[in-house]
Amino acid sequence: MLLDAAARLRESPMQESLSRLNLRNARASVPVLAAAVAVLCALLTPAHYFLVEEPWRDTLVVSVGASGLAAFVIAVGFTRDPRLFHHPYIVEAVLLGLVVWNTCLHQLLLGEPKLTTNAAFAIVGLGLMSHRQEIYFIFSGILIGSVLVAWRMNADDEHWPHFLFGMLIATILSGAVYAMRLRQSISQARRDAWQRDTMRRMSAREAELASALRRADELAEKAQEGAVSKSSFLASMSHELRTPLTALIGFSELLKKNHPDTEDPEREYIGQINENGQMLLGMINDLLDVAKADSGRMELNIEEEDLEDIVHSAVATMKPLAAEQRQHLAVRIECDDSHAMVDIRAMKQILLNLIGNAVKYTQRDGTIEVALEREGRGFVISVTDNGRGIEAAKLKSIFDPFEQVDNSYNPSRQGTGLGLYLVKTLTEMQGGSIHVESEPRRGSSFAIFLPALEARRPLSA
């Protein structure tokens, strides 16, 4: 279990960050350490020659001089030789080993208690410069061992207790310094690990977001292609159906002229053919207009028109249909000047749809009123009936495509559910808006707001 725990620790992100941090710090400190050892040895070599007595003078001079030369070579070659740069721990161990070697050699050869001071400085230096626990503890143990051996070799010297106590203080200080450095390194490693983990998560989220955006673009492109294909299909189908249907309506009208007798059963059948053909043609025209609107190919011819004339024309067109149901279709105009920028064909289509719906959903002997009024900087055209009305739940979706209200009053006149969708689309394309109010069994009122001429003109400075 201990081995498993150690393995998990070695593989943990924090341990990985600590290893990277120590490696980076070791690479930064090795040139400084090498230069310091080289300078120290350069000063100690002549000092040993003049101050150290035989028989160990030459041995110590050669050892210190060779160590200084090795440190100089490392200081010069560390940044130039990639083999040294990629193994900073080994280079660090060599440099610290040179210091420990010379310190222990002096301590053991000369055996003087005062040389323990060198060991004390060296062990503090280990606490400051070591980046691997193995290096610190091994070299510290060697220094302490050399001092103890020298003490045992010359235990009669009365100065040993003083220097041994100093060595103890230096060892404690070295351990404290190394522990503080290790704690700082661990804290920094945790921050680095957290930052890297955060960056990885951010990168992963960015990748997920980029993937989601690409997927959204693909879906949008497919949806667009599907919408274009659907619109093209509807337009093509509507065109193909409208041509023979127009011919059928024309032939039915011609047959009606050839049967002037109003009591002729064939004339009634021909009339039904003509009426159903007209209704089917209206549905196909609605499909074609929806296809154009959805694909953005519907173009309006916006010009200055008199709304009063358009209202009267639409009402005149729908009066025969209302008369068949014995409905009263009235017009109310309450404005002097009713000129606005609209598309006359679109406005007639809007009014014919609204009036047609009013006729469809109003009982026999019902009342329908088409009103034109001035309101603010625009006009309101309303179509109001006292028919069956619309439930509140249906009002939210009344302008959605293919949405229909149950027509129990006139089941023979069913539509595609596209009329109100086209009304809303055409109204908004002319800069207007539509609003509906309805109450079940009391009737409905559809109101269209259109801006007047002055509302479309820019304000003068």
Residues 137 and 8 in one domain: yes
pLDDT band at 32 (very low <50, low <70, confident <90, very high): confident
CB neighbour list of residue 454: distance below 8 Å, 6 or more residues apart: 377
pLDDT band at 173 (very low <50, low <70, confident <90, very high): very high
CB 109 within 8 A of CB 48: no
Burial class of residue 412 in the structure, from the number of CB atoms within 10 Å of its CB (0-12 exposed, 13-18 middle, 19+ buried)? exposed
Residues 255 and 364 in one domain: no
Determine the pLDDT at residue 190. 82
Determine the pLDDT at residue 256. 67
Residues 359 and 450 in one domain: yes
CA 123: distance to chain centroid? 56
Among the listed residues 108, 104, 31, 115, the one whose alpha carbon sits nearest the alpha carbon of residue 74: 31
pLDDT band at 230 (very low <50, low <70, confident <90, very high): low
Print the domain residue range for 28.
2-203
Residues 286 and 304 in one domain: no
CB 245 within 8 A of CB 280: yes
Determine the pLDDT at residue 460. 36
CA 115 – CA 104 distance, rounded (Å): 9
Q: What is the mean pLDDT of residues 295-305?
A: 81
Burial class of residue 28 in the structure, from the number of CB atoms within 10 Å of its CB (0-12 exposed, 13-18 middle, 19+ buried)? exposed
Residues 160 and 243 in one domain: no
Which H or E run includes 367?
Answer: strand 367-375
Find the range with the poorest average confidence among 183-192, 226-235, 322-331.
226-235
Do you know the residue count of the chain?
Answer: 461
- DSSP summary character for residue 114: G
Alpha helices in 88-159 (DSSP H): 88-110, 116-129, 133-153
Task: Inform me whether the pLDDT recorded for 11 exceeds 80.
Answer: no
Work out the percent of the chain whose per-residue pLDDT is above 90.
19
Residues 199 and 252 in one domain: no
Residue 280 lies in a domain: yes
Which of 239, 267, 294 represents a domain boundary (last residue)? 294
Find the range with the poorest average confidence among 36-45, 108-117, 258-267.
258-267
Determine the pLDDT at residue 300. 84
Residues 166 and 249 in one domain: no
pLDDT band at 74 (very low <50, low <70, confident <90, very high): confident
Determine the pLDDT at residue 24. 80
Task: Inform me whether the pLDDT recorded for 381 exceeds 90.
Answer: yes
Task: Inform me whether the pLDDT recorded for 128 exceeds 50.
Answer: yes
Work out the percent of the chain whose per-residue pLDDT is above 70.
74
Which of the residue ranges 198-212, 351-365, 401-415 has the most confident prediction, judged by mean pLDDT? Answer: 351-365
Task: Inform me whether the pLDDT recorded for 26 exceeds 70.
Answer: yes
Residues 26 and 54 in one domain: yes
CB 166 within 8 A of CB 116: yes
Tokens 């959903």 belong to residue: 361
Residue 219 lies in a domain: no
Which of 277, 294, 311 represents a domain boundary (last residue)? 294
CA 119 – CA 138 distance, rounded (Å): 14
The residue with greater pLDDT, 31 or 272, is: 31
Task: Inform me whether the pLDDT recorded for 243 exceeds 60.
Answer: yes
User: What does the block give as tokens for 307?
Assistant: 């709304």
Q: What is the pLDDT of residues 392-441, one digit of tens each?
A: 888 888 888 766 665 554 555 555 567 888 899 899 989 999 999 998 88
Query: How many structural domains are present in the chain?
Result: 3
Query: What is the DSSP annotation of 200-215?
Result: HHHHHHHHHHHHHHHH
Q: What is the mean pLDDT of residues 375-403?
A: 86
Q: What is the chain's mean pLDDT, rounded?
A: 80
Determine the pLDDT at residue 3. 42
Among the listed residues 81, 83, 77, 86, the one whose alpha carbon sits nearest the alpha carbon of residue 34: 77
Tokens 């039915």 belong to residue: 252
* Neighbouring C-beta atoms of residue 21, cutoff 10 Å: 19
CB neighbour list of residue 206: distance below 8 Å, 6 or more residues apart: none
Task: Inform me whether the pLDDT recorded for 329 exceeds 90.
Answer: yes
Residue 232's CATH number: 1.10.287.130
Q: What is the mean pLDDT of residues 15-23?
A: 76
